[in-house]
Amino acid sequence: MFKIKNDELRRRYKERLSNARQTLLDQRRRVSSTGQNAPAPAQTDNIKHEILTKMQIDASVDLHETLDPDYLVQIMNEISEELRQEENLLLAEQEAYLNNQEIRQTMIAEATVCCPICLSHPLRQNKQVIFCACGMRIDCQVDHTTLQGFGESLNDCVNLHKYVLHW
């Protein structure tokens, strides 16, 4: 008996819900058809017709009149200028990369230790502190590590890492 009443309540609830949704949709449709929030169908038809006529007029214009040689030259000049700017940007990036590579090569040739954080500045040692221009600092007071010993340990770790990755 309880189940029958429960099913009947569900059915009534669904009917009321669908009726409420329908009335809400009808209200929204009436608001949009009156033109308060959205244009009326006749108004949208007028707008569509105006846009269509403008498109037809634009399509009927002779292309030779709009594409005069001076305009084409101007477009070509703008394109070539943009290409020059892009090429200069790429050349500047390549030059910066080559300078960075030269710095790394000189560090390797001079047996200096490259910073493992920024990879561009050499490490320096002042008493028991190894530091870099990027702000990295290592206190070696307890370990009594020198810069050369730290560089060798760092190279060993890098080589071990490369070896493990290739397995």
Q: Map 119-164 to HEC letters.
A: CCCECEEECCEEECCCCCEEECCCCCCCHHHHHHHHHHHHHHHHHH
Reported residue count of the chain is: 167
**pLDDT below 70 — which residues of the chain?**
1-6, 28, 30-48, 55-67, 107-111, 166-167
Structurally, the chain folds into a number of domains equal to: 2
Domain range spanning residue 102? 64-110
Report how far residue 83's alpha carbon sits from residue 21's, in angstroms, rounded to the nearest whole number.
58
Q: Specify whether 69 is located in the same domain as 101.
A: yes
Report how far residue 156's alpha carbon sits from residue 151's, in angstroms, rounded to the nearest whole number.
9
Tell me the pLDDT tens digit for each residue of 116-148: 788 788 888 888 888 888 888 888 877 777 777
Query: Is 0.85 topped by the overall pTM?
Result: no
